[in-house]
């Protein structure tokens, strides 16, 4: 949650018993060293001055512990390894099967790619006027608890970062803001509350019911509002936990328009972790005993509806690949079911918002029907469903190879639509609405429609 860790800065996965490097964190020790590359396979790990440990068939979590170094003893898992060296035995992609030894000095790695980011994009409205949209991307709700507790005035948090972005948007005089929470897996509950507070004056944000049925209402801690203009929130089935709390509060206050898949993930429970070692003192024992993770409470929106299982329903639904995947809490075994409690009083920021939705849907549907990008997405969805629903696979090599090429073609096309179109080279390209993914592009148009409809109703 602090967006930093100590180690070498590499994302790892397991493949056929090998630990494979998936990607390197930009600016991390491994990336700066330059020898370790994505696709390389690590077969052994040695601490400085010690014999290497064979890691073939070892779990990724244990490999990570070896690479990061000496581990601390708290649940927060702090590592005391900065400045020490680790030696990796690596089968490189370019090598001839002979392991290469790569020594890397561990350091603090800043997870910059998970920070909130903001950009201003321009579009031309049908009447030829320029429209500015401020777009914020938030991959997770983060906060450096340790720095905050120590009184560091510059401690890292998603709310503080987005507050700064909104200040820049105000200087740029944006016409509206889009909050992109697609693939946001949640994080700090406190951050979800304070972030919502940037968009409302004051009031309740979420209700929490504990195992004993007692309900606590969590409120916006201050009465300031940092952005009071038009707002669109983007979600999908991977939007989870704290992100669902934010999206649910925005919807209940009618503070903005939700756009995305038919629902969010549906993770509406409070996870609690208890270090079992702390309990051993009651029986005069001391040894590593692991920890126990369990659900101890349930989140409810201020309208009384749980965010559990069913998630948050958007106002507008856009075509997407995630919509057709079996993603969400409802697919977890023995998950807690959706339920509801009493609502709590709260303000309404746009009494007429529900009246605008039908017109917004019609305008959006018309654009999507004429969009080449969404047509490609729809073709990929149909191909995905074709292979997802089939009950057999050909054992004929030629037929199977032809099927594989079709599947890969769909995957490559999807990656191009959502990847390359947003990975532009220049700052001007980043501001160009045509150089972005189609969902963001449509969200900007929805935002503009919303503003124009409101103007026409005055």
> Which of these is catalytic: 81, 158, 241, 305?
241
Q: How does residue 432 score in pLDDT terms, banded at 50, 70 and 90?
A: low
| Average pLDDT of the segment spanning 342-348 | 97
Q: CA 85 to CA 389: how far, in whole Å?
A: 49
pLDDT in tens, 316-336: 999 998 898 889 999 999 899
Q: CA 428 to CA 432: how far, in whole Å?
A: 6
CB 321 within 8 A of CB 381: yes
> Which of these is catalytic: 252, 261, 437, 449?
252
Of the candidates 361, 126, 129, 134, the one whose C-alpha atom is nearest the C-alpha of residue 229 is 134
Tokens 């051993």, residue? Answer: 280
- Is residue 223 among the annotated active site residues? no
What is the pLDDT, as a whole number, of residue 421?
39
What is the pLDDT, as a whole number, of residue 403?
84
User: What percent of the chain lies above the pLDDT cut of 70?
Assistant: 91
What is the pLDDT, as a whole number, of residue 346?
96
Of the candidates 312, 199, 307, 205, the one whose C-alpha atom is nearest the C-alpha of residue 260 is 312
Would you kindly state where each structural domain of the chain is located, as residue ranges? Answer: 4-110, 115-351
342: pLDDT strictly greater than 70: yes
Question: Per mean pLDDT, which range of 223-232, 304-313, 337-346, 412-421 is the poorest?
Answer: 412-421
67: pLDDT strictly greater than 50: yes
Most confident listed range (35-39, 64-68, 244-248): 244-248
Tokens 């017109």, residue? Answer: 359
Q: Which residues contact 387 (CB under 8 A, 6 or more apart)?
A: 403, 406, 407
What is the pLDDT, as a whole number, of residue 387?
77
> Which of these is catalytic: 226, 267, 315, 320?
267
pLDDT in tens, 169-218: 999 999 999 999 999 999 999 999 999 999 999 999 999 999 899 999 99
- Is residue 339 among the annotated active site residues? no
Question: Per mean pLDDT, which range of 55-69, 200-214, 375-389 is the poorest?
Answer: 375-389
Of the candidates 175, 197, 72, the one whose C-alpha atom is nearest the C-alpha of residue 125 is 175
Ramachandran assignment for 148, one of left (phi > 0), alpha (psi -120 to 50 degrees), beta (any other): alpha
The CATH topology of domain 115-351 is: 2-enoyl-CoA Hydratase; Chain A, domain 1 (3.90.226)
Q: How does residue 77 score in pLDDT terms, banded at 50, 70 and 90?
A: very low
74: pLDDT strictly greater than 50: no
Burial of 339 (0-12, 13-18, 19+ CB in 10 A): middle
pTM given for the model:
0.83
What is the pLDDT, as a whole number, of residue 75?
33
- Is residue 112 among the annotated active site residues? no
What is the pLDDT, as a whole number, of residue 410?
64
CATH of 4-110, one of 3.20.20.370, 2.30.42.10, 3.50.50.60, 2.40.10.10: 2.30.42.10
Structure tokens at 313: 């329903």
Tokens 């030629």, residue? Answer: 398
What is the pLDDT, as a whole number, of residue 72?
38
Q: Which residue has the higher pLDDT, 179 or 95?
A: 179
What is the pLDDT, as a whole number, of residue 365?
96
What is the pLDDT, as a whole number, of residue 173?
96
pLDDT in tens, 348-374: 999 999 999 999 999 999 999 999 999
Sign of CA dihedral 440, 444, 449, 454: positive
| Average pLDDT of the segment spanning 78-97 | 77
């Amino acid at each position: 949650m602090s967006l930093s860790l100590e180690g070498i800065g590499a994302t790892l996965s397991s493949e056929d018993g090998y630990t494979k490097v998936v990607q390197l964190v930009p600016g991390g020790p491994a990336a700066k060293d330059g020898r370790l590359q994505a696709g390389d396979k690590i077969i052994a790990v040695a601490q400085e001055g010690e014999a290497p440990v064979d890691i073939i068939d070892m779990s990724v979590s244990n490999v990570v512990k070896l690479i990061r170094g000496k581990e601390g003893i708290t649940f927060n898992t702090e590592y005391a390894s900065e400045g020490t060296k680790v030696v990796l035995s690596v089968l490189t992609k370019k090598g001839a099967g002979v392991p290469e030894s790569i020594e890397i000095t561990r350091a603090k790695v800043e997870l910059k790619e998970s920070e909130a980011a903001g950009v201003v994009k321009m579009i031309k409205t049908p009447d030829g006027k320029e429209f500015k949209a401020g777009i914020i991307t938030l991959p997770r709700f983060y906060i450096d608890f340790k720095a905050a507790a120590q009184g560091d005035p510059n401690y890292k948090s998603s709310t503080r970062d987005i507050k700064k972005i909104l200040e820049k948007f105000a200087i740029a005089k944006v016409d509206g803001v889009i909050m992109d929470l697609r693939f946001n897996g949640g994080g700090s509950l406190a951050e979800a509350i304070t972030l919502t507070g940037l968009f409302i004056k004051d009031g309740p944000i979420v209700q929490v019911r504990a195992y004993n049925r007692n309900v606590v209402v969590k409120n916006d801690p201050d009465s300031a509002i940092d952005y009071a203009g038009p707002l669109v929130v983007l979600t999908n089935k991977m939007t989870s936990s704290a992100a669902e709390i934010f999206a649910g509060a925005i919807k209940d206050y009618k503070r903005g328009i939700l756009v995305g898949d038919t629902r969010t993930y549906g993770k509406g429970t409070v996870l609690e972790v208890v270090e079992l070692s702390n309990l051993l003192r009651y029986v005069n024992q001391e040894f590593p005993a692991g920890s126990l993770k369990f659900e101890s409470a349930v989140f409810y929106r201020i309208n009384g509806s749980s965010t559990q299982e069913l998630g948050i329903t958007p106002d507008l639904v856009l075509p997407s690949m995630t919509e057709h995947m079996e993603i969400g809490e409802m697919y977890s075994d023995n998950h807690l079911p959706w339920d509801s409690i009493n609502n709590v009083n709260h303000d309404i920021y746009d009494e007429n918002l529900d009246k605008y939705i039908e017109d917004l849907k019609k305008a959006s549907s018309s654009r999507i029907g004429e969009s080449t990008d969404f047509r490609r997405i729809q073709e990929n969805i149909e191909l995905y469903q074709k292979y997802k629903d089939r009950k057999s696979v050909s054992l004929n090599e030629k037929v199977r190879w032809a099927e594989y090429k079709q599947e890969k073609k769909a995957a490559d096309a999807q990656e191009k639509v959502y990847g390359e179109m947003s990975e532009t080279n220049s700052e001007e390209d980043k501001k160009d609405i045509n150089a972005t993914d189609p969902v963001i592009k449509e969200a900007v148009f929805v935002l503009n429609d919303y503003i124009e409809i409101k103007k026409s109703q005055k």
